[in-house]
Structures are given as structure tokens and as C-alpha cells.
Structure 1
Amino acid sequence: MLQIDWKPQKSSTLPLHLQITTYMKKKIMNGEWTIGTKIPSQRALAQQFEVNRSTIVTALEELAADGLIESKVGSGTSVVNNTWSLLASTPPPDWTSYVRSGIHEPNIQLIQKINEAEADPTIIRLGTGELSPDLLPHEQMKQFLQMEVGETISLGYEEPKGSLALRETISQYLKRKGIEAGPASILIVSGALQALQLISVGLLKRGSVIFHETPSYLNSIHVFQSAGMKLFGIPLDHEGIQHDSIGRLKRQHQASLLYTIPSFHNPTGTLMSENRRQQLLDICKKEALPIIEDDVYGELWLDTPPAKPIKANDTQGNVLYMGSVSKSLSPGVRIGWIVGPEPVIDRLADIKMQTDYGSSSLSQYVVNQWIKSGGYEEYLDQIRAELKVRRDFAITILNTYFSKIATWTIPSGGFYIWLRLQPEISIRKLFDRALQEGILLNPGSVYDKNNLEHLRLSYAYASLEEIEKGLIRLAELIIELNSL
């Protein structure tokens, strides 16, 4: 979808339709809107430019007369010419066809719309899975960036597995979680998403089947799908992923691995019990089914610490463990880690060197300073306290305004409340109505295409005032849509 961040000047002496024609022609002539680019509908353009539809019609007619756009019944209006084809004897590349033929699957339209809306600072973001800018450690970060006299920092590439100093620090840090892993068994990555990308291209073949909880974060990204993998969902209960059928399903579908978020699951907030973690590890060992354990929310417990990671009881190298500071310290630092058997880590490190030649040296330095100094633990205590206040506040609002229209479980950590709506209303209509009023939601269909009754609410990003205002209006919208 075209991004248009311009409006005609109504105070100008130049007619509105000429301003619009000039703007659009410039976009086409500069090659920003290439051949095949779809032009929004007349109605959409009229709304965007805040003019009458007749003004848009006149502007489009002039562009068509210049041979720059063409309208076809049933397929709308698109760019058919630009400066390259006007000046050259051969036509320019049709970049639209290249875009369509790329091997990486595009985000579903709903996710693209969410991503666009998140760039609007006026939007109340009730589904965003990251810490509020107000909670980020701006002042502490400045202190960690101030180096001591005589101290140096690498500004070049780190070794393939990442900064040795950081890997040594993480090795010690993981011992508190019961995980024994030397620096050679740790790979520094640019967040958990890159870890999944490396696994998808470095360890798996096209057509491999990936087991995961359903609903799942994996459905909101296309890392495995773009690499030719197939996702297979296994239901959750209050203790976590239901393990009883894994053995039978593994043999039936020839699954290659299982992906799980045992601590404060995204999107449901479920905390896998200690017993279920052991059962899952046992069945996967028996079936020789490797586990990817995504523990990016594990430090964000609000009531009591969760059970030890599944990796802590892994004595056979069956588990690839992923951690990150993106959810707890800063999404902009982009540092995470994979822990696993050395041959696997060596393979993934080689793939990473081929893709980006290593994560940011500066970010690795900062994260090492945070963890090694003990400042990270102190900061986590503060964040847990802040998130608990926000969670409790959100639950109070839900108890007051949603008791007759929705059900939910109080999460014991993480960012999310998995809200199930009682009225049979269209979640997509609710999403659109809410967005029109400046409230951004994350529908359940983002995490399971068949889920038409849930919303993923986040209490981590919006301010308390925004949470109150947004949730109260959301309740009103649900009631309004249910009465139609």
C-alpha cells in the first residue's frame, strides 16, 4: 500500500488538482512509484488529500493523458510509465513483479496495518508487545555508555559467535537459571527473531514440519513459512502445551522440531508448569524431537519466579534455548542469544556471518556492562514492579467494564492478557472501528487464523491513562457492535 504523507495547500494560488497531479507525477518520474504500482481508489485519495472526489478525477485524468497511469475495469488504476521509459528505448524493470516473486512471504494485510498504525504517535496501542518508552532506562543507558579512562571498546567486527566477554558473562548469568553452558555453546544474535531465521535456513530442510502451541507467535511472522516449512499447532491448556499427543503426531507428520514459549506465552500469557516442562522434555527426548525454547519473557515475572527453563534439565542437548534483552531492557539494543550443542552453534554462527557479519559491537558492549555490573538485575526489579502496577490496573478496568462481555485469565508475568469476547461480533469490524477512533488492537487471528473471538491486550506499552481511556471505549464499541 502506498505511503502518502503529503496534502495540497488550499491557500496556494495553484489549483488543487494541479498540485495533486504534480505530486503524483513527481513520485512516478522519480521512480518511487514504479510500473505496476497500484494507485489508491478515488475515494481513498479524496480522503487522504482532503479534497472533493471531482478534484481527484481531474488529477487522474491528466496523469492518464500523459501516459503515466492506466485504469482497467476490475483491477483498478496503476502506474504504466515513468521517466525511464519516457527517456529510454527499452522499458524499465517492472519492480512490482520482482516484489511479488520474492521468496519471503509478505505479512498478512492485518499485520501490515498494525505496523503502519504503530508509527502514529497519537494512537493508543493496546496490543503492542514492547515496553513503554517511559519505562526504558534512558539515564542508566547513558551511564553505561560513559567509558572509564583507559578503557577501550571494539568498533570492528566481533568473532563469529559474538563478543567473548559477553558470552562469558551470559554463561555465568544462565547458571542462575540452572543452565550450564560454556561460551563456546552460546551464539550472540540480533534478537530472538534472527535466531529463528538462522535456525530456519541453517538446520532445516524445505517441507519440514514445525510443532508449536496454538495460538502462537510463529503465526504472526513468516520466518519458517518463507523457508518452505509447515506449521502445525498443538492446543494449550492452563499448564501449557498439551503433550499427550506429541508422540503420535510426530510420527504421523514427521515433525522436525517443536517451538515453545513456556514462560508467559505470547499471546496467551500462559505459564507452563514445572511438571509439564518435564513431561514435554521427556516425550521429546523419547521421540528424538528437538525443542526450541523461547524464553524472552522469562525474567518478567510479576508474582513469583517461573519454574526453571526446560533447558535446565536438558542433559542430552535436545533443547535450543533463546534469550534476549529486547523485551526487558530495550527493543532497540537488539541483542539476544542461542544456547545449544557446539556443532549446532558453530553451524548457526557460520550462517550468521554470511548474513550480517555479526551483531553490533556497541550493543554487545552495553549489554555486557549491564549484566556484568549487576545493573540489569536491579533494573529488572524496577520493571517488574512497574509492570505489576500496570497489569493490576488493567485487570481493575476489565473487572469494571468487561465482566459481562468478556473472560480472561490474570497473567502472572509477561505483557499480555488473552481476552475472549462473549458477544458474537466481528473482531475485524471491531479492529477497524477502534482504529478509526485511535485505538490499536491485536486480534487473535494474527496468532491463529481460525481464532475469531480473542484479542491480545498488552499492559506494557500504553500509559495508565491510555489504558483506562482505551479499554473503556473498547467496551463501549463491543456493546455497540453487539447491538447492531
Structure 2
Amino acid sequence: MSNYEWKPTRTSPIPLHQQIYEYMKEKIMNGEWTIGTKIPPQRTLAKIFKVNRSTIIIALDELVADGLIKSKVGRGTIVINNTWSIITSTPPPDWKSYVRSGTHHPNQEVIQHINKEEFSSNIIRLSTGELSPELLPSEKTKEIFLQGSKHTLSLSYTEPKGNIHLRVAICDYLKSKGIGITPDSVLIVSGGLQALQLISLGLLHRGSTIFHETPSYLTSVNVFQSAGMNLFGVPMDKKGIRIDVLRRLKRHHHGALLYTIPSFQNPTSVLMTDNRRKQLLDFCSKERLPIIEDDAYGDLWFQQPVLKPLKAIDRQGLILYMGSMSKTLGPGLRIGWLVGPEPVIDRLSDIKMQTDYGSSTLSQFAVTEWLTSGLYEEHLYHIRKKLKKRRDLTIQILENFFSDVATWNIPEGGFYIWLKLNVEVSIVKLFHNALKEGILINPGNIYDRNDANHLRISYSYATEAQLEAGLKKLALLIKKMNK
């Protein structure tokens, strides 16, 4: 019941309370709000529907009179009846128990808030890890579909590993990164998250331990946890994941895989050094510890090209390499890829066919055109310049307004600044207070449950004006909460 796109029409001759009553009654009678569903408090409903609380009270009283809802001490107001329970003595399914029994873990409450509020039109999104709509190449993508192409646009299913033209294009693109592979070693996926889901389903067993950098994006999703696996964080320094700690942990925990983002790590934007990359690969080779390398941000460097991916120096087939167009061309395309040994790709492509029968053929066609036409490199050139400008602006704002309350890194690429508060402020309360002020932030405990003093600030989505207004307001809020 978290999303209410409907609002009563003030110009309608039907009274507002009657419109709200009819809307809620329809939700209940249609089975969208099942028995046991909790109705939000009166004040919350008044805010949602933008009416007086007295209007909500009248609407709820009518639903109570109809025998559809009831207020219970300690539980609030819940749905107690619907069409089926009224006309038959047989109770309807208890969908609440089904929801509780599902094997996939729910998102953290804060993340559910973020996912909801990101679509509010009046919010300043200082948290969002995607390009601003004004930076996305929407018009050029339209042109790609309209202009002629040597590749056939098919609306049929593709082969299990994905469109062959796209896989060839990805092989050519990865050569520039020092990765030499053939199309048989490439699987097209619907974004990086699907690649992780396929790995959890096809390569690991319940109880497996996944090592990862901490803090890490991986803890903000439940892909491995929901499959019955354990996450084990390995601390980082300015050079990347700490091999000395990983070595000690490996002695006591039998890790199945290591997940890492070497280039502009999410959320810290740390760029793993060349020496640390070699140390990591040497250690994992000796320990026979496979690596999932997530290179989602590798193209988004500002000053000079980043170091070669780990996969470029992998000679043992140790690494499963993930790439994506979500951070450069647009998350709506839902196109990424997984590179690995052929037996692994064969296994995971079979599972993918069982789950979605292939990624969007339209999106695969578009990405093929971007990669083969030379447009992608041209686009990256402009995006890097614009992101660097946003980064520089954000750093300047932080220096002007946050120097007495926080410290931060200066990223060499990617989307994020890892902001450390040096004052006593609850980041959970800060999140909610900022939301009331129309500002959306990502508290550090999303990425490390023990983190109580970091924020991930994104400069990729909000406009320059919003960055300035939002960060100024956030600084004032932090200082006010610290008094």
C-alpha cells in the first residue's frame, strides 16, 4: 500500500470524502487490499490525498459502516472484509502469510523508502546512482531505430546467449580493455543484477560464503542472501581491498567467490591500484578463489583511462567479468553482459532461458548500433566531461558548506563521493529529516550495516542547481541536528 498515484478531483461535483471512500472500497472489493491489510493512519492519508483529516475520517467511517475495515488497539485500522468474505462463509486466502513465507528477502526499510521517493517529482535526488535524464542520449537512440542499419531488427527471441551481433560487438569493445574473448564466452543479461542472480542460482549452493569489499553495493541487494548464502565483508584502504585481511579471513572461512568493483567502487569510488590488482589476482589464483569483477563504472574516468580490468590479466579463467550499459547509455535499456569460461556461460544461459527467455531484442539492437557505429566512444567523451564538471561543482559546494562537519574523497571517476560526518548525528534520523526537507540521500549503513557516519553523495543525477540547493540545505540540517 505504499504507492498512491490516484488523487481525488477537486473540481468534481462528487464530495472529496465520497471519492476517497469509493477509491478505497474498490481496492478492498477487488482484492487489491486483502483481509489483514493495514490502512495508513488518518494523518498520513490526509497528506497522501491532500485533504483535511476530517475528510478522511468521514470516508473511513463509511468503510467501517460497510463492515470493510475495523480499528484494533495496537494494530491500527485493518481490512476485515471484502466481496468474497461477505457472500461466502469460506475465507479468502491469507495472502499476508504467503508474503511472509516468500524466500526472497525484502529490501531494507530505508531502501524501500528510497525506491519509492526516487519517483517523487518534488524531491532532490542526491542519492541516485544513474545519469540524469538530461545526460542520457535519448534522441540519438531514437535516431538509431529510425536510420538504416546493416543489422536486422528482429522482434523474435534470440539464441540463449543473446544476439550474436551484440556479442561480437562486445568482444571487439573489450579488446580496448585488454580482454580477448570470443562470443561463446559472452552472455547478454538484463543488467548486472541479473548476472548476480544467475550466478547465485547456477553456480553456488546454500550456505556458500561470498567475500566482498566493505562497504559494498552487494549488501544493499539481497540476491545472495535470499539464496541462503552468507556475505563476508573485507575492509578497504585507499588502494582497494586489503589482501592481508582477506588472507586471514580465508584461513577461517571457506569462501566460494569474491565480489569486487575495482574501478570507482560503489559506494566509495575507490580506484584499486595496479599493484593491488596484481596482488589480488595472485592471491585468488593460489587459493583457487573465483572472482566476480563488476566493471559497471570502468568507462567513466575523468583525467586518464583507468587501469586494465582484472580480467585483462586473468590467464586461468578465474574471473567472471560483468559489464553494463546502465551507467553510460541508460538503465532503461536493461542490457549488460557476463564474460566467463564457456561451461559457466553455457550453464547460466540455460538458466536465463528458463527465467525470461532472453533480454529485450530492441535493446540489444540499440546497443549493437551504439558499439559498432563509433557513437559510443563519442558519447563517453561528452559524458566524462559533464560528469567531471558536476564532480568539481559538488566538491566546491562541500568545501564551502561541509568543511566543518565532514571529510570526503575526490573521485577520479564514477558517480559518487563518500562523505564522512565528523559530528554526532544519527544518519538514520538524518535520512528521514532530509526526506521531510525534500532531499533524498543514501546513508552508509545501506552498504555496511555497522556504518554510522557516512553518506553516499551522487553528483550524476541531480541538476547543477539542485546539487547546490540540496547540499546547502543538507549542511544546514546536519548542523542543526548537531546542536
- 1:106 & 1:63 partners in 2: Cα distance? 30
Q: Give the 5 Å matches for 1:401-440.
A: 401-440=401-440
Residues 191 and 326, structure 1, Cα contact 8 Å, conserved in 2: yes
For structure 1, the 5+ residue unaligned runs are: none
Residues 390 and 459, structure 1, Cα contact 8 Å, conserved in 2: yes
Amino acid paired to 1:87: I
Deviation at 1:69, TM superposition (A): 1.5
- 1:221 & 1:49 partners in 2: Cα distance? 32
Match of residue 361 from structure 1: 361
Please state if 1:252 is matched with 2:226: no
Q: For 2:393, what is the secondary structure of its paired residue? A: helix
Q: For 1:244, what is the secondary structure of its paired residue? A: helix
Q: Does 11-20 or 344-353 show the bigger shift?
A: 11-20
Q: Give the 5 Å matches for 1:55-204.
A: 55-148=55-148, 152-204=152-204
Residues 247 and 287, structure 1, Cα contact 8 Å, conserved in 2: no
Please state if 1:207 is matched with 2:185: no
Match of residue 284 from structure 2: 284
Cα RMSD of the aligned pairs, angstroms, is 1.6
Residues 3 and 116, structure 2, Cα contact 8 Å, conserved in 1: no
Cα deviations by residue, 1:381-414 (Å, 9 ceiling, x for unpaired) = 1100110111001111111111111100100000
Match of residue 219 from structure 2: 219
When the two structures are superposed, what TM-score results if normalisation uses the length of structure 1? 0.96
Cα deviations by residue, 1:250-271 (Å, 9 ceiling, x for unpaired) = 2312111000000000001100
Deviation at 1:10, TM superposition (A): 5.8
- 1:313 & 1:151 partners in 2: Cα distance? 33
Q: In structure 2, do the counterparts of structure 1 residues 303 and 74 end up closer, same or farther at CA, with 3 Å as the change threshold?
A: same
Q: Give the 5 Å matches for 1:16-35.
A: 16-35=16-35
When the two structures are superposed, what TM-score results if normalisation uses the length of structure 2? 0.96
Amino acid paired to 1:316: Q
Deviation at 1:14, TM superposition (A): 5.1
- 1:358 & 1:214 partners in 2: Cα distance? 33
Identity %: 64
Q: In structure 2, do the counterparts of structure 1 residues 5 and 384 end up closer, same or farther at CA, with 3 Å as the change threshold?
A: same
Q: Does 181-190 or 79-88 show the bigger shift?
A: 79-88
- 1:13 & 1:366 partners in 2: Cα distance? 49
Residues 36 and 79, structure 1, Cα contact 8 Å, conserved in 2: yes
Deviation at 1:148, TM superposition (A): 2.1
Please state if 1:4 is matched with 2:4: yes
Amino acid paired to 2:217: Y
Cα deviations by residue, 1:90-146 (Å, 9 ceiling, x for unpaired) = 222222221221111111111111111111122110110000000111222122112
Please state if 1:372 is matched with 2:333: no
Residues 235 and 245, structure 2, Cα contact 8 Å, conserved in 1: no
Match of residue 332 from structure 1: 332
Deviation at 1:249, TM superposition (A): 1.4
Q: For 1:367, what is the secondary structure of its paired residue? A: helix
Deviation at 1:161, TM superposition (A): 0.6
Residues 31 and 82, structure 1, Cα contact 8 Å, conserved in 2: yes
- 2:6 & 2:163 partners in 1: Cα distance? 45
Amino acid paired to 1:352: K
Deviation at 1:88, TM superposition (A): 3.3
Deviation at 1:312, TM superposition (A): 0.7
Residues 219 and 446, structure 2, Cα contact 8 Å, conserved in 1: yes
Deviation at 1:43, TM superposition (A): 2.5
Deviation at 1:8, TM superposition (A): 4.2
- 2:171 & 2:199 partners in 1: Cα distance? 21
Amino acid paired to 1:113: H
- 1:13 & 1:184 partners in 2: Cα distance? 64
Match of residue 273 from structure 2: 273
Deviation at 1:449, TM superposition (A): 1.4
- 1:450 & 1:58 partners in 2: Cα distance? 45
Deviation at 1:34, TM superposition (A): 1.2
For structure 2, the 5+ residue unaligned runs are: none
